[in-house]
Every structure is written in structure tokens, then in C-alpha cells.
């Protein structure tokens, strides 16, 4: 039986990697290259707030979405896993969107789809639907808050991290994140397929 602490840490780490923090950091730095430090910090706070709002909406109303569209949890596991694998592949190959203006980019594209992309959305919907225990729901919320704040702290310290690590190291960390996400994707797809076959027999 998984302890409360193990569950909390597991959810926190899972979402920290799902948010692709180092990839988000590299995009954040490239899109705010001409910003002052104060403006960059303000944007980081806005992005963190947007990510938190999006995640909690998806986490709490995931079950409603399943019931509304008649989607089974395992079929969504397979679909979300496939999207997660595609996101992981993009990270490993260093594909990134570009920005050509100084318009407000906190919600789109930084919060969504760079940090909260299709794969993260799918995982949030699955997790929100499969956790029915009230205590675990609370722990999941707290872990989600910590994961969001962890990414927010990284963005707030973007200038310092860039000076400390350099762009090459950040890009390497982004690729490592992609490998972790690929492993999570494989596990989600395997679990979904196994459960579908078990139900059929």
C-alpha cells in the first residue's frame, strides 16, 4: 500500500517533469530576451498563476469530462500516453515555438501549450478521474501546488539559472526531461492496454 508521503512525492515529481521545466525555462528565456529583470519576474508570476488555474480546473473536472463524452479511463490513458510520447520526442529533438512580438505571452503560449500541453492536460484528466479518495485528492492538490510553484520559482530565477548553467546545460536538461516523459508515456500506454485486455477477458 502506497503511503501518503510516497503518493505526495510521486505526484509532485510526475507533474514537475510533465511541466517540462527546463524546456519551459529555455523558451521563457528566449521569448523574454529583451525584457528587464522586473518585467521578466512579473511575467513569471503571471505564468505560474495561469498554470495553477488551468491545472486545478482540469484536475477537479476530469471525471465530468469522462462522463460527458462517455470516455473510459483506460482509453484516455492510451491517448494521453501517446500525446505524452509525442511531447517527449519534441523535447529530445529540441523543437520549440518562436515569439516575434512583445505582446502578453503569459497564458498563450507559455502557460499553454508550452507548460500545460496536450499531454499534461490528458494526465491531469486521468489523475483527477482515478483519484476518488478525499485524502488522496487533497494530497494530489498539494503536490500539484508544489509542482506549479517549483516551476514558477525556476522561471523567477531564470536570469540567475541562465548565468549559472548556461544555455547548453539547460538544453541538455530539457532533453533529459524528454527521456523521463517518454518513460512515463510508455507506462501509461502499457497500463491502459493491459487493463483493456483484462476487461475483455
User: How far is residue 148 CA from its own chain's centroid?
Assistant: 9
What pLDDT does 9 receive?
93
For residue 53, pLDDT over 90 is answered with yes
Q: Could you give the count of Cα atoms lying within 13 Å of 153 in the half-sphere of its Cβ?
A: 7
Please write the tens of the pLDDT for every residue from 9-49.
999 999 999 998 988 898 888 778 788 889 999 999 999 99
For residue 162, pLDDT over 60 is answered with yes
**Quick one: pLDDT band at residue 166, thresholds 50, 70, 90?**
confident
Please write the tens of the pLDDT for every residue from 54-81.
999 889 887 787 778 888 778 878 887 8
**Quick one: pLDDT band at residue 2, thresholds 50, 70, 90?**
low
For residue 102, pLDDT over 70 is answered with no
Separation between Cα atoms, residue 57 and residue 65, nearest integer Å? 11
Separation between Cα atoms, residue 164 and residue 37, nearest integer Å? 16
149 by Cβ neighbours in 10 Å (0-12 / 13-18 / 19+) ranks as middle
pTM attached to this predicted model: 0.75
Please write the tens of the pLDDT for every residue from 104-137.
688 877 888 789 876 788 888 888 878 878 888 8
For residue 173, pLDDT over 60 is answered with yes
More confident residue, 152 or 121: 152
Domain ranges of the chain: 4-200
Burial 73-103 (b: 16+ CB within 10 A, else e): bbebbbbbbbbbbebbebbbeeebeeeeeee
Q: What is the CA radius of gyration of the chain?
A: 17
**Quick one: pLDDT band at residue 187, thresholds 50, 70, 90?**
confident
Amino acid at each position: 500500500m502506497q503511503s501518503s508521503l510516497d503518493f505526495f512525492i510521486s505526484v509532485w515529481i510526475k507533474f514537475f517533469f510533465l511541466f517540462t521545466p527546463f524546456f519551459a525555462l529555455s523558451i521563457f528565456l528566449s521569448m523574454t530576451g529583451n525584457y528587464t529583470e522586473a518585467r521578466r519576474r512579473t511575467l513569471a508570476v503571471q505564468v505560474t498563476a495561469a498554470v495553477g488555474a488551468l491545472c486545478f480546473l482540469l484536475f477537479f473536472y476530469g471525471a465530468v469530462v469522462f462522463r460527458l463524452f462517455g470516455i473510459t479511463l483506460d482509453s484516455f490513458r492510451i491517448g494521453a500516453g501517446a500525446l505524452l510520447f509525442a511531447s517527449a520526442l519534441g523535447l529530445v529533438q529540441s523543437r520549440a515555438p518562436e515569439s516575434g512580438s512583445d505582446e502578453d505571452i503569459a497564458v498563450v503560449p507559455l502557460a499553454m501549450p508550452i507548460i500545460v500541453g496536450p499531454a499534461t492536460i490528458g494526465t491531469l484528466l486521468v489523475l483527477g478521474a482515478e483519484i476518488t479518495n478525499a485524502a488522496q485528492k487533497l494530497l494530489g492538490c498539494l503536490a500539484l501546488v508544489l509542482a506549479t510553484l517549483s516551476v514558477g520559482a525556476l522561471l523567477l530565477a531564470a536570469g540567475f539559472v541562465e548565468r549559472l548553467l548556461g544555455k547548453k546545460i539547460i538544453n541538455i536538461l530539457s532533453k533529459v526531461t524528454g527521456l523521463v516523459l517518454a518513460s512515463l508515456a510508455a507506462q501509461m500506454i502499457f497500463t491502459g492496454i493491459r487493463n483493456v485486455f483484462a476487461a475483455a477477458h
